[in-house]
Every structure is written in C-alpha cells, then in structure tokens.
Chains A and B, each alone.
With several copies, the nearest count.
Chain A
Amino acid sequence: MTELDPRANEEAVTIFERSRAGRRAFVPPPTDVPEVPISELLPASQLRERPAELPEISEPELVRHYVTLSSKNFHLDEGFYPLGSCTMKHNPKLHERVAALPGHARLHPLQDPEYAQGALELMWSLQGALAEIAGLPHVSLQPSAGSHGELAGLLLTRAYHEERGERKTKVLTPDTAHGTNPATVTMAGYEVVKVGTAPDGGVDLDDLRAKATEDVACLMLTNPNTLGLFDRNIEEIARVVHDAGATLYYDGANLNAIMGIARPGDMGFDIVHYNLHKTFTQPHGGGGPGAGPIAVSDRIEPFLPTPQVLRRGGDNGAGRFVLDHDRPKSIGKLRGFQGNFGVFVRSYAYIRSLGADGLKDASQVAVLNANYLKARLAEPGIAEYLPIAFDRTCMHEFVLSGSGAKEKLGVRTLDIAKRMLDYRVHPPTVYFPLLVDEAMMIEPTETEPRERLDDFADIVRAILEEAAEDPEIVRDAPYTTPVRRLDEAGAAKRPVVRWRPPAAPEPAANDGQ
C-alpha cells in the first residue's frame, strides 16, 4: 500500500530537531533563598558561557516523541523473541511494582544499615538462594552484568594465585565462547588460549589436556555451552583444569537450562556468574540494566569484593544485617555502592514466586520447548536448508546452520533473519557461535506456549518456500518495518554519532521538524 500510505517515507526526527526556543516541559520550584548573583558563587573560569543545546519542548510533545519512538521497537510483550544466549523470558509486571516501592526505589545507598535492614535482608536472602542454585557457598551481588562478573572472576583468580605465589599468564576459552570471555581475559591481564571443540560439540579433551599447562590460570566455560549442549565430560574437564592448578570459571548465561537439576558447584566449578537479566528475568531494557552476581568456593571467598552483606547474630531471623567492609584480602570494589539493587529486587521476587519446584519446572520447560522446536525445525522442507549443527538432544537452546539455504537457495542466514521481521517475530541470534557456518542460535525459553513454537516453525518453512520460489523476496526483506535494511558500512566509515545543529548557535529555534 506504500503508494497509498502518505506517511510511508516519513523521516525520523530527533528530539533536538523538535526544539523551539522558549518552550518548556519543566517549571522550577521557586527560589526560596537569597538570589545571589551566580558570578559571586562560581569562579568565572568555571562558568559555562553558553547553555547546553538541550531541547526546548512542552510536556505533551515530549511524551509524544518518546511514545512514538517506542512504537518503533519490537519487544517481548509483542511476540516471540528466540534470541539465542539471551534467555528472553517473560518479565512479570509484579516485579516492576515491587521495585518501585518507595522503600526500595527511594532508599539511599549510603543509608545507615540500621535503617536499611529490609534491603540488606533482601540481598542476603538473594545471595543464599543464588548460592543454593549454583551449589557454591559464597555470593557477591556487586558486578553490574555478566561481563563484569567475568572480570571479577578473573581478578579473584589472580588474587588467589598471587597469594599462593603462583604466576599464571594464560586463560583458556573454548572456540565456542562468547565474545565477552576473551575480551575479559585481556582486560584482566591474561593471554587467551583457545581450546577446540570435539565432534560431539563438547570441549576437545585432548586439546584441553595439551593446553592445560602450569601457566594457565583459568578455564572459562559455559555448560550447557553456546551450542546448547551439555558437556558430558565436565568432570574430566574439571579434573584436568584443577590438576593444572587453574580455576574453573562458569559463565552463567546458560544457567536457565539446569536450575534445580544440576549445579556448577557440584561439577567442580570454582567461580560462577549469574545473569540476573537472563535467568532471573530482569527486563533487558533495550540493553540493560542487568546484574552479574558471582558465587565462589571457600578458597576464593577471602578475595570477594567489598562490601559483603552478612548477617550477625541469631540464626532464627533475629540477626542484624551488616555491610562488611573489613576484608583485607579483597580485590576491592568493582563499582560504586552495593550493586544494582533494583535488579536484585526483581530477581528475588522471581525466585520467591517460583520457589524450588517452580525454578526446576522453568528449566525443564525451557529444555522441552527447545527440543520441541528443534524437532519441528528438523522436519523435511526445513532440515535440508537449515541442518542442526550438532545433532544431539539439546538443552535450552540449539544451533542450526544456514549453509544449506545458502547453497541450495542462495539466501543467507542474515536474509532469513531479516525476512522474519516481516512475520513479526524476532530472529534468533545469528552468526554465533563462530564455528558454525551461517549459525542460527535459537532459544525459545520456558514462557512460550506451544502455539508460538509451531507458529515460528511455520514461518521458517514459509520463508524457505518463498526463497525457493524467488530468493529476491527474502534477500530484499524486510519490507514492513519502520525502516528497511540500513547502510551499516557507511555508518562506520563516516560515523555520525550525535546530532548537530545545521546553523549553530541557535539551531533549535529555526530548523528541524
């Protein structure tokens, strides 16, 4: 209908371009103290000469701008979002309500613990629940996200080895590892050594044994791994790593597959991070906030960041909760204050809502949904084009290869993903993990009903049929989105990373709209 849609080619307008001199959404409270001239309060050297060019706009138009922008986002409350490795599970609305309670939202981080007992008890209880789920006794909630937790994990490893007078320079990561793993290794001052993947999708044990030398500090692993497969050799892996005097680090991004079923601690992992914004349903917010708490074994505990939330006294709930800053061996602080408390509230509410069996049920259904969708996508008419990368029972996610579609139909994984946009579903994670050609990593999560999975299978089939008929249809997709394929190369070649007034210094007044 484009020709009949008068707004089809409407251009995006930034809030700055909507600005008109003199408009305002904010009215200041009256000045109730002497109106001393600013020049008497601030040194001329530090006085701003011209105001920052922030938008001038009334509340109604401000609201419309952002409400209208929001409607250009696909989101979890709209439809299926099987983004592999991201655990896009439902975000209960209850969590937003409890996080917004003034006792949480309006609590200052430096409040005297005596007057923040509710918040500290919540953190303490969450630590306990997370410890039990991972099977490791000590938890720090401080890291701000998974990658922050990874960094904490390697800094703890370093502190641990240094105390023992051991000098280690390398960290092992499988070639299936998520990008944050190697990036973290470098930031933590180690050298990355890649470990290969065996034909069954697990760690190549021989390669591991060969590389697990004296100078290795740690092996970073996620299990189930990024192929969605549980590494059957996990105990042997742990043995090899520990024999080398290295720590075994658990990237918790895939924890959603095994809650209440198996525990990293029981597998021999020394350090674990959790992604509360994945497994424990903190809404992703378009790229955060999240939280990446870590759990560790006894030997690592002394090095945990400060402060730690502890309970002093009576074990019958009579105890007081304190912030322990006095940790001589601690690696120190990874960030300000006590971490992303607002995220803790949501994840704690989630854990209390589901309880022991609810969490186990969540993992079981996550795995059931993944295997069912995998089966649906293994049907003739699909499997020829999108073969499964490693044909085993998967855990919470699985990886297909677009190789067949590329050869037989001339459409790439990217094309299929873009065409999915027209079907109003979010595409899987694509081109990751790297070792799978034209990878398509699919994680349905437990909160999807069967109809959504069937619908997705039908969509994949339909797209492949379209491609068989006329690959152009798929290659030129999407057609129905607010914008179509964007020039990313151009964006990187000539980066425009902020809006600039066409005619400074008073742009807002005259241009735009």
Chain B
Amino acid sequence: MSRYTSITDQDLEVMLGAIGAGSVDELFADIPESVRLDREIDLPPGMSEQEVYDHLAALAARNRHADSELTFLGAGMYDHYVPALIDNLLSRSEFLTPYTPYQPEISQGGLQVMFEFQTAISELTGLPVSNASVYEGPSAVAAAGYLAKLETRRSKLVASRGLHPHSRAALRTHAVGYGMEVEEVPLTGEAATDVEALAAAVDEDTAAVFFQQPNFLGTVEEIGELAEAGRRTGALVVCAADPLALGILKPPGEQGVDICVGEGQTLGNRLDFGGPSFGFFAAAERFLRKMPGRIAGETRDVDGRRGFVLTLQTREQHIRREKATHNICTAQALNALAGVVYLSWLGKRGIVELAELMLRRTHHAREALGLEAINPGPVVREFAVRVPDLDGLFERARAERVNPGYRLGRDYPEYEDGLLVAITERRTREDIERLARLVGARAGVTA
C-alpha cells in the first residue's frame, strides 16, 4: 500500500465482497485484452519522501536562481520581493486544495477573494469589469483577440512590436484557430510604437489593435494616441499592461482602451521558471457578457445575508459549450489570490512608493551604465541599451555570478547588440553600480 492510499487487505476483502468481484483485475474486464498493457510501465520504482526530497533538492541545486546570482533579467517576469504572509496564506489547505467554487455556500472564501481581486484589477486598469483570472499574460492577449472576433466578426489583428514577443507569438498561434491574421506595427527610433504606422495598418477589417504599457523594452507608450489611432475604424483597443507599473501610470481605461490584459507575476507571485502565475482580463462594461473565464458576483442568500457566487456562467463552456465565449475552465485562482493579497499588502500608498522607487532606480541605472540607450525616453521598470561587446560582458558577468539581463537579438534582429535591463526594489544602487563596473571593464580595456 502506498503512503497515500488506505486500503488494507481486510478492506479489500470486504470491498470486493460488496462489489461481488473476485479480484481487482475483474474490475478492468471492459478493457479489451488487445489494448491492455502486458508489462509494467517503464518507470523507476517509488521512493520514500526523504529520497524524493533529496533528488529534487539536488536538481534544484543545479539551477542558478535569483538568490544565487545578482540578476537583471526581466523581459516579462521580475524579481520582486514576495512578502512572507503570502506564502503562509497560500499554504493554507483552505485555499490550496479546493476545486473551483461550484458550491458557493461552502466556498465564500474563494469567491470573495475573486470579487476582491476583480475590484483591485478594475482599480488599476481603470476598467469597470475584470474576470477572476486567465492563465497568464500572452494567452490573455490571445483571449482578447477571441473576444474581438466574437464582437466584430472581423479577421485582422494589428499588434505593435512593443508587445511582448511571447504575446505576439501566442496571438499568432491562436489566430489560426480564430481564422484571423496578425499584422505587426514597427517601433520608432526611440522604441515606442509608431502611431502613424499603427493608424495605417488599421482598416475596416481590423478587429483589434494591441500594444503594451510599458512596452517590451520598458518604454512608456502614449496610450491615448495609440488608442485613438486604433479606434478609427471601430476596432477594439487592447492594451497589455504591467499591473504594478499601473500604480503610477494613467489607467488604460481612462485613455480609450477597451480591454486591458496582462501578466500578473509581478503581483506577489514567484518566478517559478515561468509559471504558474496568472493573467488578468479587464474590459469596458459593454463586454461583460463576452468576457472569458470565471467572474464572481455579489448577491444575497435566502436569509438576506451578503454572499458571492460565480456569475454570468452562461458565457462559459460548461453551460454554453460550443457557443462559449472561451474554452477556459481551470484558471489560476491561487495565483490571483497571491495577487490581491499582494496589492492589499502594498496598499493605496505603498504601490505608488514601490513604483516610484522602481522608476527612479531604472532611470538612475540607465545613466549609470553609460551606454547608448535604445529607448532614451521615459521608462518604468526596464530599459534597453546597446552593448559593444555583449558576449564579453556576459562572460565577465557570469564569472562573478551576475546576470546582466536579456539579450534582445533573438526577438529583435534590429537590436542585435541590445541588452534589456530590469530593475526592481530588490536591485539596490550598489547592485546597479556593480553592473556598471562590469560594463565599464571593457571600456577600461579599450581606453
């Protein structure tokens, strides 16, 4: 018997008796011999808890992580400090182990959390309705594309190259299923979305335009102008945003954006080598009944007590089936919980203080490195520079357990020598100077 099952020989006897079967094998009689596996599956034998722990600890030890190196990697996921109370709350069985709250009477905890999450996202995005989470950032962008299709029945999606490469990729992948095409809009010399190009790309058949705030290179976009250009022909305006940066940036909802989506990792979620985190999806009131995923709503019980339920479920696959607004079922409830707890921890003033610290350090870092900036304009949490000897820098840095950031070359041939540097509240001025010294080292050499 495994440590997770409880059937003793005595139990087995009683149970087979009640079933009226002679053996457990009999229970599988419906499976044709021809498709039965006539051997053991080829996997190593089971291990004790201690051995499994040791094995996984050994694997983990072979990864260089944000505690074992000084990292300036960002490009979509960022090394923010996650307060201890989040670990504690997420480890509670009451939050960790239940399924989607199909029985609201015994799920008020999870449902109220969703309602609070929706409120916080609505506050940040400036849009009145939010769902309770989608998978993560890039697929949230793709989900916005599907809503645009259902809403407009048009077949073209226009995306800024400032949109995260993974978001553009996910959008293209999904668009094939939607029967839509994706057209990309270039960036200006200062790495902001080219408004004219965007305006030019939008036509009568355009279902939606997509851009990101701040964009993939950290540039603060002029959302208002982009939205106006995108809206011209009745296309929906979709903005992907960093929710933490929205603590000090003007909400997309106040600038003509119809749908704001994004990656929630920056809100109290771990790096986890890329997931699980959560995606958020907020929109204007008129899209309420076209939203993807779970939405919690407030109501009353038979005794008149305030309560919360999953609402507008007629949008969803389990009711609407082929007519559903999206196929999503399991989403990211636990990660969204971390998100709303994190936002409540930061609070009204804290999110501003944190974002301003990030903002100032980012600008300070860009100067400190003394390299040619790819985006010399306003940046929030990240910036791109050209590095004469990128390989050399990485070699020197790696030797000192420093990770200089993300190399833009693979996604942006136009920035072959580009380095994307991310700054958070965990990267101190000292850390920044350390990177600057590594960058300067060569300057030293060549001087």
A277–B96 alpha-carbon span in the complex (Å):
12
Alpha-carbon gap, A30 to B298, bound state (A): 40
Known contacts A335-B136, A375-B20, A491-B299; is-contact A132 B41 (Cβ 8 Å):
yes
Q: Does A502 lie at the interface of the complex (its beta carbon under 8 Å from any beta carbon of B)? A: no
In the bound complex, residues from chain A placing their C-beta under 8 Å from that of B2 are 27, 354, 358, 361-362
| B103 A74 Cβ-Cβ under 8 A | yes
CB contact under 8 A between A179 and B101, given known A353-B46, A484-B301: no
Give chain A nearest CB distance to B161 CB in angstroms: 16
Tell me which residues across on chain B come within 8 A of A183, comparing CB atoms.
Answer: 317, 320-322, 324, 326-327
Residues from chain B with Cβ under 8 Å of A316 in the complex: none
A187 to B68, CA, bound (A): 43
Residues of B close to A112: CB separation below 8 A: 403
Segment of A95-103, A400-408, A463-471 engaged in the interface with chain B: A95-103
Contacts of B73 in A (CB 8 A): 108, 110-111
Asked if A145 contacts B331 (CB within 8 A), the reply is yes
| Cα distance A364–B24 in the bound complex, in angstroms | 7
Q: Does A255 count as interface, using CB distance less than 8 angstroms? A: no
Q: Which of the candidate stretches A36-44, A208-216, A240-248, A293-301 sits at the interface with the other chain? A: A36-44
The docked-state distance in angstroms from the alpha carbon of A342 to that of B313 is 29
A333 partner, pick from B5, B7, B166, B344, beta carbons under 8 A:
B166
Please judge, given known A-B contacts A144-B136, A491-B297, whether A483 and B8 are in contact too, CB under 8 Å.
no
B76 closest partner in A (C-beta): A336
What is the CA–CA distance of A342 and B223 in the complex, to the nearest angstrom?
34
The contact of A498 among B7, B107, B115, B312, by CB within 8 Å, is B115
Residue of A81, A92, A497 near B297 (CB, 8 A) is A497
Given A336-B274, A483-B105, CB of A71 within 8 Å of CB of B94: yes
B47 touches A353 (CB 8 A): yes
Residues of A within 8 A of B164 (CB): 336
Please tell me if the beta carbons of B44 and A352 are within 8 angstroms of each other in the complex: yes
Per-residue A-contact encoding for B150-181, CB less than 8 Å = 1, 0 else: 00000000000000101101101110111100
Q: Are A42 and B359 in contact (CB under 8 A)?
A: yes
Taking CB atoms, residues of chain B closer than 8 Å to A285 are 95-98, 332-335, 337
Partner of A91, one of B32, B96, B124, B135: B96
A57 touches which one: B102, B172, B301, B344 (CB < 8 A)? B344
Contacts of A192 in B (CB 8 A): 321-322
> A198 on the interface (CB 8 Å rule)?
no
Q: Does A412 count as interface, using CB distance less than 8 angstroms?
A: no
B87 interface hit (Cβ, 8 Å): yes
Q: How many residues of A contact B (CB 8 A)?
A: 220
With A76-B93, A115-B63, A183-B317: A343-B360 Cβ-Cβ less than 8 Å? no
Residues B106 and A266 in contact, CB atoms below 8 Å apart = no
Interface string of B77-89 (1 = CB under 8 A from A): 1010001110111
CB distance from A490 to the nearest CB of B (A): 6
Contact of B36 among A90, A105, A118, A262 (CB under 8 A): A262
**Contact in complex: B406, A110 (CB < 8 Å):** yes
Is A327 close to B, CB under 8 A?
no
Min CB gap B412→A, angstroms: 14
Residues A63-90 near B (CB distance < 8 A): 63, 65-67, 69-78, 81, 83, 86, 88-90
Q: Which of A241-298 contact B (CB under 8 A)?
A: 258-263, 266-267, 275, 277, 283-291
Contact B276 A342 (CB under 8 A): yes
Which of B230-238, B241-249, B384-392 makes up part of the contact surface?
A: B241-249
Instruction: List which A38-56 residues lie within 8 A (CB) of chain B.
Output: 38, 41-43, 45-49, 51-56
Taken residue by residue from 302 to 344, chain B's Cβ proximity to chain A (1 for < 8 Å, 0 otherwise) reads as 1101111101111011111111101111111111010011011
B118 beta carbon closer than 8 Å to chain A: yes
Residues of chain A lying within 8 A (CB to CB) of residue B79:
106, 108
Given A22-B1, A450-B15, A498-B128, A232-B112 contact (CB < 8 Å): no
Judge whether A138 is part of the interface by a CB distance below 8 angstroms: no
B351 surroundings in chain A (CB, below 8 A): 51-52, 54
Q: Is B55 within 8 A of A352, CB to CB?
A: yes
Q: From residue B133, how far is it (CB to closest CB) to chain A in Å?
A: 7
> Do B101 and A289 have beta carbons less than 8 Å apart?
no
Q: A498 CA to B124 CA in the complex, in Å?
A: 13
Complex interface: chain A residues within 8 A of B309 (CB): 486, 488, 491
Given contacts A28-B353, A331-B173, A375-B18, are A20 and B274 in contact (CB under 8 A)?
A: no
Interface status of A104 (Cβ within 8 A of chain B) = yes
Is B34's CB under 8 angstroms from A235's CB?
A: yes
- Which residues does chain B contribute within 8 Å of A354, judged by CB atoms? 2, 4, 46
Q: How far is the CA of A333 from the CA of B45 in the complex (A)?
A: 34
Q: Which of B6, B16, B55, B98 contacts A61 (CB 8 A)?
A: B6
Task: Please give, as numbers and ranges, the residues of chain A lying within 8 Å of B27 by CB-CB distance.
Answer: 364, 367-368, 371, 393
Q: Does B414 contact A (CB under 8 A)?
A: no
Given known pairs A57-B344, A70-B92, A345-B56, the reply for A151 and B177 (CB within 8 Å) is yes
For the complex, give the distance between the alpha carbons of A53 and B349 in Å. Answer: 9
B87:A97 contact, CB within 8 angstroms: yes
Min CB distance, A80 to chain B, in Å? 13
Are B329 and A355 in contact, with the CB atoms below 8 A?
no
Contact B28 A357, beta carbon cutoff 8 Å: no
Query: Interface readout for B26-61 with A: 1 if CB under 8 Å, 0 if not?
Result: 111111101111001111111111111101111111
Is A513 in the interface zone, CB < 8 Å from B?
Answer: no
The yes or no answer to A15 lying at the interface (CB within 8 A) is yes
- Whether, in the assembled complex, B364 has its beta carbon less than 8 Å from a beta carbon of chain A, the answer is yes
Taking A77-B97, A284-B97, A352-B46 as contacts, is the C-beta distance between A31 and B65 under 8 angstroms? Answer: no
Q: B99 contacts which chain A residues (CB < 8 A)?
A: 81, 83, 86, 88, 284, 286-287
Q: A43-B220, A447-B5, A484-B105 are in contact. Are A146 and B329 (CB under 8 A)?
A: yes
Contact with A along B350-362 (1 / 0, CB 8 A): 1111101101110
Q: Is the CB of B95 within 8 A of A260?
A: no
Q: Which residues of B contact A415 (CB under 8 A)?
A: none
Chain B CB within 8 A of A332 CB: yes
- What's the Cα separation between A478 and B272 when bound, in Å? 40
CB pair A343 B276 closer than 8 Å: yes
Candidates B3, B41, B91, B350; contact of A133 at CB < 8 Å: B41
A488 to B313 CA separation, bound complex (whole angstroms):
10
Contact between B112 and A109 (Cβ–Cβ < 8 Å)?
no
Q: How far is the CB of A392 from chain B (nearest CB, A)?
A: 7
A111 engages B403 (CB within 8 Å):
yes
**A168 interface residue, CB < 8 Å from B?**
no
Q: Tell me, rounded to whole Å, the shortest Cβ–Cβ distance linking A51 to chain B.
A: 5
- Given A73-B106, A107-B273 in contact, is the A14-B116 Cβ separation under 8 Å? yes
20 contacts between A and B (CB under 8 A): A19-B348, A28-B425, A32-B361, A33-B361, A38-B248, A41-B378, A54-B348, A73-B94, A105-B272, A111-B273, A284-B97, A284-B100, A332-B170, A332-B173, A333-B166, A337-B166, A338-B273, A339-B274, A393-B27, A485-B301
Q: Please give 5 more A-B residue pairs, beta carbons under 8 A apart, in addition to A26-B353, A52-B351, A354-B46.
A: A179-B321, A261-B37, A275-B330, A287-B110, A333-B173
